Amino acid sequence: MSEKALLPCIHLAQGDIPPRVLVCGDPARAERISKRLTEARCLAQNREYWTYTGLYQGVPVAVVSHGVGSGGAAIAFESLWRAGARVIIRVGTCGGMQPEVTAGSIVVATAACREEGVTEKMVPLSYPAVADGEVVTALVNAARQRALPVHKGIILTQALFFPELLESTVKLYARAGVVAMENEAASLLVVSSLHGVKAGVILAVDAPAFELVGVEGYQQTAGRAEVAQAVEDEISVALDALIRVPLEDHI
């Protein structure tokens, strides 16, 4: 890690990381992913932000955790851009919102609905949260090369995790064809678009979304072998895609 001035929270400085970065919510998962790298080392561990670097198939990459929720995650994404990230892929879990998007499925996001309550403070809601086309293509192609089926479509990023007295918009978005719900992707896509970073999202479905089945129904599917396998598969796909996305635009 550099001795230059550190960015808040994430404890990295400009130039500390390579331009290709894989992000996930759970610090323990980031550590686990780092074991797939050669010459892996830990750069920083502060709060929920754990950073590792290494080589994947000879290409320098970083793996960084961002915690749960878009507020803290947005700090990570902004800081990663400032530290040198130019391609970022998020791996995580989500709740399925369509009948065919079941536990153990993999979803590649093309865009995200901005219901996370953070990016509206950065730029008007009419500004879309869109995944970079080259990243989406790289993810889909990498999944195809591994013979892994994926659902591709719009996802919902919501601030709420547990539903309470007020009904959320999950059922409305489900009727509109949104495929899955999670808590951080929209902030990644907006922050990345604002700074010219190529970003994308791949998710493993661990259950139907809370509002479609209730909290108890969601918890009943957690920990299934197919979900654990989907998480491992999405990480493999994301790493494959990460090193294939060109750092510069090609027309």
Of 16, 132, 206, 240, the catalytic one is 206
Which of 112, 132, 167, 154 lies closest to 244, judged by CA?
132
Q: Which residues fall within 8 angstroms of residue 83, CB to CB, at 6 or more apart?
A: 7, 10, 12, 13, 14, 15, 16, 17
CA nearest 153: which of 203, 198, 104, 116?
Answer: 203
Q: Is 206 a catalytic residue?
A: yes
Active site residues: 206
